[in-house]
Chain A
Amino acid sequence: MSKTLFDKVWDSHVIRNIENGPDVFFIDRHFIHEVTSPVAFLGLKSRGNTVLYPERTFATADHNTPTINQHLPVEDPLSANQLKALEENAAEWGISHWGLGHKKNGIVHVVGPENGITLPGATIVCGDSHTSTHGAFGAIAFGIGTSEVEMVLSTQCIMQPKPKKMRINVNGELGFGVTPKDVALYIISKLTTSGATGYFVEYAGDVFRNMTMEGRMTVCNLSIEMGARGGMIAPDEKTYEYIQGKPLAPKGEAWDAAMTYWETLKTDDDAVFDKELTFNGADIEPMITYGTNPGMGMGITNNIPNADAVEGGVATYKKSLGYMDFSEGDSMIGKKVDFVFLGSCTNGRIEDFRAFASIVKGKKKADNITAWLVPGSHEVEDLIKEEGLLDIITEAGFTLREPGCSACLAMNADKIPAGKLAVSTSNRNFEGRQGPGSRTLLASPLVAAATAVTGVVTDPRTLLS
């Protein structure tokens, strides 16, 4: 029977199918971080269980870590306590741990691929919804809860009903100044934040084939924001080229064997999806959000739609605009902005810093803007320096911080103050997401850069040559 890419990977990891229940699903690779793992380790201990395959779990600290002065002790005692718990748990069970100060430390969804832990055909989970990022490599990757973290630690399995399958095709060419982030925000604006709930998505078509691995990661990362558990893209030459030679990638004969398998990882021509959607890449503009969920986005030259023109409840829509202090019909362009955040597992990779630098080169940061530029990992940080991007952004009046999740979820000190407006390259514009009372506009690194130098929301195409 014909299979989709998703079927091939899913079915090969099912140990047992429970009738009218979930599949017992084997996990190849498990990432943990300091926030969603401590209670899982406590549970493991209280049941008298052990970690079954410590070599299949990888720990990194990212959510709580400061992004300045990482060499000093962490000031917040609660954050310090979580970081210590991760370190101690990893040491106790023999789990690899890239903690604060380690040269491989960074955001879990950035360091996994960088180190060749993320592989095509693998199943990958983490107590973090943006685990969907790793689907860019043709892996099945998704976020889990802490109970499931404990399951994976003690049994290397979770119990999941197989999701339905959706294919999203985007064909044609992207316009000038349109990035992978815009493609994802465009799709989410069409589907809403619940449009893909219950589905696992495969992204197909020219636009994704032509994307770099970094771009594909940005798209897959945002799958959860349309409600999908995850999204994936069939591996191709770009995927193999990215992985080959990475520290933990298969080598020699193991590489050849893996390649033979990976080349089978594509959807059969006559395979059937439960739902299929097709968009035209040429229709996509640089995007920006205006509300309090990632589905409330629009082309940057558009105006905020009227409540009667959007799907869903009018009261919820008006509450959202009220929180943002915006009105129906408003244009985003020209709105005065206080903060710009470049970073996160969505847009904290080298390509995002290249994009940012391409706009700010030879210009100056606007005086009203506080800018936080946070690389996704030390490896990204090193590349920023090696490629001369640090000089460009420094000359333009910006400083580079140290790696971590930072203001994306504001668990560390990087909090946008109440009432302030931020243009952020991260993934969520929920109420208070970037700090209590903060207001977030999600956009691409190009929009963030254009805004950072003008001080107001700016269409990057007006600054790009």
Chain B
Amino acid sequence: MAYDKFDILTSTAVPLPIENVDTDQIIPARFLKATERKGFGDNLFRDWRYNSDDTPKEDFVLNNPKYSGKILIGGKNFGSGSSREHAAWSVYDYGFRCVVSSFFADIFRNNCLNVGVLPVQVSAEFLEKIFAAIEADANSQLEIDLPKQTITLKATGESESFDINSYKKENMLNGYDDIDYLTKMKSEIQEFAAKRPF
């Protein structure tokens, strides 16, 4: 599925300073029953966001009007657990284009890259600085510069570089995905498959 190209993103951010946020929290299993990819943003962090009677939990950050933006800041080991791509869909569908953490679970990171959400891994120190800056001023702007691979706190100019392999970077910059690449090498794949013993 095509996604919007990613270049430079400047936005306020939503802080979620909790570690080991698993994909069951990002989107609980009972909301995985759709056969189409739509409406997942409504159930992002469903059980942290809403009471069992569907009223909003006032103390959850997504229900706090102070915080908004296209960047989600999470604690260490973000996205662990289930491989459900629905977690990345719900993050994207809610309106986030970037998730920042000091450590990502593998499958979630991979799923994000495949659906157009940029995972930005920063040092634990820089993550603390971001949380502190947002706590001090909820309107703090962050700039994510994909071409330069940097993340910057606009108010202070403090910056850190982040890793992304050049193949995935090119994809994100152009809104391409892996299937576009793979379908072009079909005959090479068929040649390979013919030699497999099973």
Contacts and interface: CB of A to CB of B under 8 A. Distances in A.
Interface of A: 15-16, 18-22, 24, 26, 28, 35-36, 38-39, 42-43, 46-47, 49, 52-53, 63-64, 76, 78-79, 81-82, 85, 119, 122, 127-129, 143-148, 150-151, 154-161, 163, 193-194, 197-198, 224, 227, 229, 250, 254, 257-258, 261, 293, 295, 312-313, 315-316, 319, 409-411, 418, 428, 430-433, 436-437
B193 A26 contact: yes
Interface stretch (B6-14, B105-113, B132-140): B105-113
Interface string B1-44: 10000000000000001111010110011101111110000000
Contacts of A16: 185, 188
A197 B103 contact: yes
A410 B31 CA distance: 11
A81 B36 CA distance: 11
Contacts of B1: 43, 46, 147
Interface stretch (B59-67, B76-84, B141-149): B76-84
Task: List 7 A-B pairs, minimum CB-CB distance, nearest first.
Answer: A21-B167, A145-B85, A143-B83, A78-B33, A38-B35, A145-B111, A147-B114
A49 B20 CA distance: 37
A154 B80 contact: no
B52 to A, nearest CB: 6
Contacts of B106: 163, 197-198, 227, 229
A411 B19 contact: no
Interface in B153-198: 165-168, 177-179, 181-183, 185-186, 188-190, 192-193, 196-198
Q: How large is the interface on B (under 10, 10 to 19, 20 to 34, 35 or more residues)?
A: 35 or more
Contacts of B188: 15-16
Contacts of A28: 196, 198
A70 B105 CA distance: 36
A79 B106 CA distance: 28
A87 B189 CA distance: 27
Interface of B: 1, 17-20, 22, 24-25, 28-30, 32-37, 47, 52, 75-77, 80-86, 88, 103-107, 110-111, 114-115, 165-168, 177-179, 181-183, 185-186, 188-190, 192-193, 196-198
Contacts of B28: 432, 436
6 contacts: A43-B1, A129-B107, A147-B1, A229-B106, A293-B22, A411-B33
A147 B182 CA distance: 12
Contacts of A15: 185, 188-189, 192
A269 B178 CA distance: 37
Contact of B85 (A36, A79, A295, A437): A36
B24 A145 contact: no
Contacts of B77: 193-194, 197, 227
B22 A430 contact: yes
B80 A227 contact: yes
Nearest to A46: B1
A320 to B, nearest CB: 8
Contact of A155 (B30, B111, B179, B196): B179
A257 B196 CA distance: 12
Given A313-B19, A315-B17, A161 B165 contact: yes
A409 B27 CA distance: 12
A227 B165 contact: no
B189 A47 contact: no
Contact of B198 (A64, A122, A154): A122
A24 B182 CA distance: 8
Contact of A144 (B22, B107, B198): B107
A19 B32 CA distance: 36
